[in-house]
């Protein structure tokens, strides 16, 4: 299966993806903290046939009934190839929606590509955080409960 748990050795490629997309500025120390946290699920999408095999990553906080998607990103040249869906499904597979589990996330209001992706996968907007980001942009909060 192309999705597996993230390892420390994956971080150079993960950081490269994250920096290319310029929507976060996580550093190596922050990724290591997530990889080693007992409540976090950090996964990568691997294509073994390529020179740079890691094509995407996702970080989830699995917190019982209320989990959170912290970050998900796909290599820009491989977007719209199902990688994001595979990564998202890797985290969602740990949830039990029939017993009330939910997963939350936040996204920049102007990131229409990400918002369409989440809505396509059953996330619904439920709130807005005004001027949440450092540049003053609003955050839209989403939840998936089914």
State residue 26's pLDDT score: 84
* CATH class, range 3-144: alpha beta
- Among candidate residues 104, 87, 106, the one with its CA nearest the CA of residue 145: 104
What global pTM score does this model have? 0.91
> What distance in Å separates the CA atoms of residue 87 and residue 66, rounded to the nearest whole number?
19
pLDDT per residue over 84-118, tens digit each? 999 999 999 999 998 999 999 999 999 999 999 99
Contact (CB, 8 A) for 40 and 61:
yes
Which residues, listed in sequence order, are joined to residue 67 by a DSSP beta bridge? 103
User: If 0-12 CB within 10 Å is exposed, 13-18 middle and 19+ buried, where does residue 56 land?
Assistant: buried
Residue spans per domain, the chain: 3-144
């Amino acid at each position: 299966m192309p999705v597996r748990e993230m390892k420390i050795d994956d971080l150079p490629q993960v950081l490269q993806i994250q920096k290319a997309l310029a929507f976060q500025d996580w550093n190596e120390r922050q990724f290591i903290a997530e990889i080693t946290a007992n409540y976090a699920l950090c996964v990568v999408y691997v294509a073994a046939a390529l020179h740079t095999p890691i094509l995407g990553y996702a970080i989830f906080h699995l917190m019982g009934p209320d989990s959170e998607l912290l970050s998900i990103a796909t290599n820009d040249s491989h977007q719209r190839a199902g990688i994001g869906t595979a990564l998202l499904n890797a985290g969602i597979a740990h949830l039990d929606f029939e017993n009330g589990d939910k997963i939350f996330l936040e996204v920049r209001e102007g990131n229409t590509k990400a918002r369409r992706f989440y809505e396509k996968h059953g996330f619904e907007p439920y709130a807005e955080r005004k001027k949440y980001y450092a540049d003053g942009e609003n955050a839209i909060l989403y939840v998936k409960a089914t």
